Amino acid sequence: MTRKRDKKRANLRDVARAAEVSVATVSRVLNTPDVVQKKTREKVEKVIAELGFHPSAAARAINSGRTKIIGALIPTLDSDIFAITIDAIESRLGDFGFSLVVATTGEDPDVEAARARELLDIGVEGLFFPGIHHSQELYDLLDRTKVPTIAISYFDATFAYPTIGYDNREAARLALDHLLDLGHRRIAVVHGPKDHNDRTRARVTGASTQRSGTELAFFETDLSVAGGAKAARDAMKQPTEFDAYLCTSDTQAFGAIFELQRAGIQVPNDVSVMGLHDLPSAQYVNPSLSTIELPVREMGTLAAESLARWVEKDVRPAPVCLPSQLRARASTARKEN
């Protein structure tokens, strides 16, 4: 079956002609309806519905001087943390009448600066990016354009832009303290690549806290299940017989548990495994994963509210550090002497 070509899309002039008003009146009904008399407004709105008229984003921007678009620079969407963050941001921005455009950067500073220029070229009114370490090119671009910008997934009250996030260093320290409190002293720390990722660097720093008699070994790998499995294989080849694994992401912890169990090592009877994030699936794996809950969704919602108000009311938000919490489950247990 062939579909007939739709009739010509109605435009602003078509609405004005059918409603017997001026184009300016139609524009006011769309952008500032409160200043239009009720009878006229209702007549124009009725014609808009009958004609199926929907103003394009470009037309709205020309008429109002606003795009109502917010941009987000994100390393990847192949990450549960960023997927949840973006979902929360987009949902809350919609309540304020904003749309979200996401650009992925692959943790590449040059790509990030290029994507930022593209977002600014389409007229974004605000911008999010994760962390506080970025290229000078990006900072210069933001300084020139003065676009309201919030850094997420990190906290630093001294940063040039407001940060709304959590203390990655403290979150990793909480994870390490949990293992140490259970009596573990030979701990393999599994983490992602540190280049261009200040969140990972902060977590590694937090996990580096030494206590007397503690032996820590660090294994850098991909932020994935496969990466966690590889790190576990590498750790099992070492002379040290580790009694616990601290993974700076839940996905790596899932991989580590899988690989340890495949090698005949029981979790947590033989070795404890700790994650970081508290993904929705963390409580359903076997054994359920002990982890640190990062307030990712709460952060995304608050960041969206803060940026929307900054754009609309020119009120710069204060930095916010949301607390992380220990979620002790079945993958960790007290070490038996």
**Structure confidence at residue 60 (pLDDT):** 62
Q: For 16, left (φ over 0), alpha (ψ -120 to 50), or beta?
A: alpha
pLDDT higher than 50, residue 4 = no
**Structure confidence at residue 53 (pLDDT):** 80
All residues at 6 or more sequence positions from 280 whose CB lies less than 8 Å from its CB, including other chains: none
**Structure confidence at residue 79 (pLDDT):** 86
Q: What is the rounded CA–CA span in Å between residue 16 and residue 29?
A: 11
Q: Which of 28-32, 258-262, 285-289 has the lowest mean pLDDT?
A: 28-32
For residue 213, what pLDDT band results from cuts at 50, 70 and 90?
Answer: confident
By the 8 A CB rule, do 130 and 153 touch? yes
**Structure confidence at residue 241 (pLDDT):** 96
> Phi and psi at residue 192, in whole multiples of 5°?
-85, 180
Q: What is the rounded CA–CA span in Å between residue 303 and residue 270?
A: 42
Instruction: Report, as an integer, the average pLDDT of 220-229.
Output: 95
Closest CA to 331 of 289, 292, 277: 289
Residue 15 token pair:
């609405």
Domain with CATH 1.10.260.40 in the chain: 12-64
Q: Does domain 168-294 fall into CATH 3.40.50.2300?
A: yes
pLDDT higher than 90, residue 210 = no
**Structure confidence at residue 100 (pLDDT):** 97
**Structure confidence at residue 14 (pLDDT):** 87
Q: 69-167+296-323 adopts what CATH topology? A: Rossmann fold (3.40.50)
For residue 300, what pLDDT band results from cuts at 50, 70 and 90?
Answer: very high
* Reported CATH class of domain 12-64: mainly alpha
pLDDT higher than 60, residue 109 = yes
Q: What is the rounded CA–CA span in Å between residue 127 and residue 147?
A: 7
Q: What is the rounded CA–CA span in Å between residue 231 and residue 192?
A: 10
Domain with CATH 3.40.50.2300 in the chain: 69-167+296-323, 168-294
State pLDDT tens for residues 28-73: 887 778 888 999 999 999 998 888 887 666 556 556 667 899 999 9
Instruction: Report, as an integer, the average pLDDT of 211-222.
Output: 89
> Phi and psi at residue 107, in whole multiples of 5°?
60, 20
Q: Which of 13-17, 139-143, 152-156, 244-248 has the lowest mean pLDDT?
A: 13-17
**Structure confidence at residue 156 (pLDDT):** 95
Element (H or E) spanning 293, and its range?
strand 291-293
